[in-house]
């Protein structure tokens, strides 16, 4: 049985339109015009216990709004959501003790206190026993290599160090479901990698169900086998990450390194679209079904030192998914 069940979930905001200036303000007193903004529009999906699922979409797609409804922060306008059998909008304490929400742009740690004081406060809020608290704290601070920073004021920590403590604070009560909203936003490459490795290892060891949003495709590729893609509040894809490439990318990239100088664009264009061409290297975009023929033709016709065939970068594929959903709305 799925641990997260979402069916036709919607969140609609009603906003007033107002003309500019004093005249517009006066007119608004007597005649008001409203418009509807569909932040989430009939989204449905299910997640099994222990899955780590990527939740993708451009800015304003409805990702964070969906997570807030699943965590009970927002009430849905329509549709239903169940997490661990609970209705999140009812905000029952039994439910709130079993999930955690980490938002990369929101802090739950007290800015002017040492990190350990905020962690102890979370321990008391969730009623974690002294023994469990010490066990989880020792384990997490060791894994994330921040034990030496427990006594440091939160304001004096780097962004990456603060995010590690945010994760620890959210995991003290051992939640069954973890919502991660942009956990690596603003972090440097090393900090991003450390957070990714921790999330992956934690999911593997504890079988915690994780729903992850991120604009960094490295996060998604490293962590998620399955992705749910939404745009303008509507689901446009739900399946394996590899299937996104198969469905939305009809081409592959062929990179050729030449032994004795380059080849003219005119000669290369017979095999595919020329994306790059220098004296020693060329990159072609070739239809998937034509890769074998193009490769054989290039090898037989030119003096090639090396040839490499690869998929189009996942970032470009996801952009095509978004573009496709935009065109469908036109």
CB contact burial 192-227 (16+ within 10 A = b; e otherwise): bebbbebbeebbeeeebbbbbbbbbbebbeebbebb
**Matching residue, tokens 């990714």:** 196
Q: 65-75 as b/e, with b when 16 or more CB fall inside 10 Å?
A: bbbbbbbbebe
125-128 long-range contacts, Cβ below 8 Å, gap at least 24?
126/97, 126/172, 126/173, 127/97, 127/173, 128/172, 128/173
Q: Looking at the domain 4-8+44-245, which fold is it?
A: Rossmann fold (3.40.50)
Checking if the pLDDT of 163 tops 60, the result is: yes
3-state secondary structure 274-326: EEEECCCEEEEEEEHHHHHHHHHHHHHHCCEEEEEEEECCHHHHHHHHHHHHH
Q: Is 266 helix (H, G, I), strand (E, B) or coil?
A: helix
How far is C-alpha 61 from the chain's CA centre? Answer: 12
Mean pLDDT of the chain: 87
The third-level CATH classification (topology) of the domain covering 250-311 is Alpha-Beta Plaits (3.30.70)
CB atoms within 10 A of CB 54: 23
For the stretch 94-132, pLDDT in tens is: 999 999 999 877 778 888 889 999 999 989 988 999 999
266 contacts: CB under 8 Å, gap ≥ 6: none
Distance CA 43, CA 59 (A): 17
Q: Is residue 228 within 8 Å of residue 56, measured between CB atoms?
A: yes
pTM: 0.80
- d(Cα 303, Cα 294) in Å, to the nearest integer? 15
Sign for the pseudo-dihedral over CA of 57, 59, 65, 67:
positive
DSSP at 60: T
Residue 134: DSSP 8-state: H
Long-range contact set of residues 198-205: C-beta below 8 Å, sequence gap at least 24? 198/143, 198/144, 198/164, 198/167, 199/52, 199/167, 199/223, 200/52, 201/143, 202/171, 203/50, 203/52
Assign 185 to helix, strand or coil: coil
DSSP for 22-36 reads: HHHHHHHHH--EEEE
Predicted pLDDT of residue 247? 78
Q: What is the pLDDT of residues 17-69, one digit of tens each?
A: 776 777 666 676 667 777 888 899 999 999 999 999 999 888 888 899 999 99
What is the percent of the chain with per-residue pLDDT over 70, rounded to a whole number? 95
Span 288-312, pLDDT tens digits = 889 999 999 999 988 888 999 988 8
- Specify the pLDDT at position 259: 85
Domain boundaries, the chain: 4-8+44-245, 250-311
Token pair in block for residue 79: 């549709």
Write the pLDDT tens digit of every residue in 79-94: 999 999 999 999 999 9
Separate counts of helices (H) and strands (E) for the chain: 12, 13
Which tokens belong to 99?
């999930």
């Amino acid at each position: 049985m799925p641990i997260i069940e979402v069916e036709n979930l919607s969140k609609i905001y009603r906003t007033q339109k107002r003309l500019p200036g004093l005249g517009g303000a006066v007119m608004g007193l007597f005649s008001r015009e409203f418009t509807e903004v569909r932040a989430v529009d009939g989204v449905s999906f299910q997640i099994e216990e222990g899955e780590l699922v990527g939740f993708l979409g451009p800015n304003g797609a409805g990702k964070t709004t969906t997570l807030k409804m699943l965590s009970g922060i927002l009430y849905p306008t329509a549709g239903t959501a169940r997490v661990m059998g609970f209705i999140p909008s009812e905000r029952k304490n039994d439910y709130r003790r079993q999930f955690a929400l980490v938002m990369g742009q929101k802090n739950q740690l007290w800015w002017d206190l040492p990190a350990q004081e905020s962690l102890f406060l979370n321990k008391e809020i969730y009623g974690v026993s002294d023994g469990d608290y010490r066990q989880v704290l020792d384990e997490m601070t060791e894994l994330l290599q921040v034990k030496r920073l427990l006594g440091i004021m939160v304001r004096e920590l780097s962004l990456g160090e603060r995010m590690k403590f945010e994760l620890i604070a959210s995991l003290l009560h051992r939640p069954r479901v973890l919502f991660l909203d942009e956990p690596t936003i603003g972090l440097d490459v090393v900090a991003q990698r450390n957070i990714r490795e921790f999330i992956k290892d934690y999911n593997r060891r504890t079988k915690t169900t994780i729903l992850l949003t991120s604009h960094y495709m490295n996060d998604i590729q490293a962590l998620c086998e399955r992705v749910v893609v939404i745009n303008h509040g509507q689901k446009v894809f739900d399946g394996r990450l590899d299937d996104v490439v198969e469905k939305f990318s009809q081409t592959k990239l062929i990179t050729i390194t030449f032994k004795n100088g380059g080849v003219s664009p005119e000669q290369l264009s017979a095999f595919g679209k020329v994306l790059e061409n220098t004296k020693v290297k060329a990159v072609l975009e070739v239809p998937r079904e034509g890769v074998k023929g193009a490769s054989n033709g290039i090898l037989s016709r030119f003096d090639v030192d090396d040839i490499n065939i690869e998929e189009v970068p996942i970032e470009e594929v996801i952009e095509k998914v978004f573009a496709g959903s935009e065109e469908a709305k036109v």
